[in-house]
Amino acid sequence: MNKDDPLFGASAPDFSLNDHEGILRSLKDYSGKKLVLYFYPKDDTPGCTKEACGFRDSHNTIREVGAEVVGVSRDDLSSHQRFRTKYSLTFPLLSDPEGTVSKRYQVYKMKNLYGRQSMGIERSTFIIDEKGVITGVFRKVRVDGHLEEVLGSLK
């Protein structure tokens, strides 16, 4: 967790994005609850699938501490629907096709993959408290061990 991050301790940037069912979800929908808001590069890719399935498998534990999980990527609604169905995901996936919310959370960045540079989402997770304040920032997330970090910060 990075307490030196500029978003740590700040009010979480608001968002209003459609989920996998086309339902508009906003930050205010989670008021009074902790929120694990995670940004990931692409549906149904190895790292993103491992991360999503980890959140799925721990969803009850996360809920027991009064938190909800929401994933965000630039994929469209039909991609999110297929991804959720294929892996029986139990939480909403929001579509941010223009990267608007990803930019507000400073996770839309220049990435370098196999020597090719392109803009994309840098895997990141934010813990937002019941009052909408960011109490946890995890950037450049490595999937292995990340779930344990998130669970530790929620407790």
Beta-carbon-side half-sphere exposure of residue 54 (alpha carbons within 13 Å)? 18
Catalytic, 53? Answer no
Closest CA relative to residue 127, chosen from 36, 8, 2: 36
The full DSSP string for 10-44 is SBPPP-EEEETTS-EEEGGGGTTSEEEEEE-S-TT
Question: Which run of H or of E encompasses 153?
Answer: helix 146-154
Q: Determine which one of 37, 48, 69, 89 is catalytic.
A: 48
Catalytic residues, which ones? 48
